[in-house]
Structure 1
Amino acid sequence: MEREPDMMAIGGRRLTDTGPGLDVMVIDVAVMDGDWRREVRTEVIERVLAALAEACGLPKPSPAWWVSFRVIDEGSWGFSGGALSVLSLLDSSVFTEEKAKAIRAAIDG
């Protein structure tokens, strides 16, 4: 779901009331279900923000940049005309054996 700029606020002020020049960015990170512990999600968000700051030539991320991290339920991805499962990737060389076990445990609950 995309958010309209007039529905977002920073410091209690709607973005549309802040005037021109505010550098607003909304990034949506969507990942397949798996082993996404809180510290891993935090690291991904921080690295995305740091990479954006570096790409923009800024010393730190803007407080007007928002990142959301969404985990898509297993079996809820579509690709190339069909459904895709992270489970089908576990026996490939994409993940280490340890990570594949952690993903299986996270999905199996």
Structure 2
Amino acid sequence: MEREPDMMGIGGRLLADICQEADVMVIDVAVMDGDWRREVRAEVIERVLSALAEACGLPEPSPTWWVNFRVIDEGSWGSGGGAVSILSLLDSGVFTEEKAKLIRAAIGA
């Protein structure tokens, strides 16, 4: 069975059909499961795009830049030879008590 190549479109046109070289960038933001409400995700995405524009010396982000925001399920991270849980970080002082409560509620802990 032949597999269709992955295709990306911009403005209703496939990149392969755009004559000029497009400035395409895909950024993948992966985070531990926690308190990631829609407005928080939107803020992270907007700040990443803004920082990229600033780093590239542009007044605004390109419409051909994409940011994917992915939440990795609790217990599905690994580091240092083992699985890592956000629960072990909650009492470390990294999060405020209020934020720790929101994270616990979001993951059902």
Q: Please indicate, yes or no, whether the TM-score normalized by the shorter chain is above 0.5.
A: yes
Give the counterpart letter for 2:83 in structure 1. A
1:32 equivalenced with 2:27 (yes/no): no
Which residue is equivalent to 1:16? 16
8 Å contact from structure 1 (residues 6, 15) kept in 2? no
How far the C-alpha of 1:12 sits from its partner, in A, is: 1.7
Determine helix, strand or coil for the equivalent of 1:46.
Answer: helix
**Residues 33-72 of structure 1 aligned to structure 2 (within 5 Å):** 33-72=33-72
Determine helix, strand or coil for the equivalent of 2:75.
Answer: coil
Give the distance between the partners of 1:100 and 1:60, measured in 2 at CA. Answer: 34
How far the C-alpha of 1:6 sits from its partner, in A, is: 5.4
Which residue is equivalent to 2:83? 83
Determine helix, strand or coil for the equivalent of 1:75.
Answer: coil
Per-residue CA deviations over 1:38-92 (Å, capped at 9, x if unaligned) read 0000000000000000000000000000001000000000111100000000000
Matched residues, number: 105
Q: Please give the TM-score of this superposition, normalised by the length of structure 1.
A: 0.91
Give the counterpart letter for 1:84 in structure 2. V
- In the TM superposition, structure 1's runs of 4+ consecutive aligned residues that sit over 4 Å from their partners are none
1:100 equivalenced with 2:96 (yes/no): no
Note the residue ranges of structure 1 that are not aligned, 5 or more in a row.
Answer: none
Q: Give me the identity figure in percent.
A: 80
Give the distance between the partners of 1:52 and 1:100, measured in 2 at CA. Answer: 30
Give the counterpart letter for 2:56 in structure 1. C
Give the distance between the partners of 2:20 and 2:36, measured in 1 at CA. Answer: 37
Q: CA RMSD in A?
A: 1.4
Note the residue ranges of structure 2 that are not aligned, 5 or more in a row.
Answer: none
8 Å contact from structure 1 (residues 75, 85) kept in 2? yes
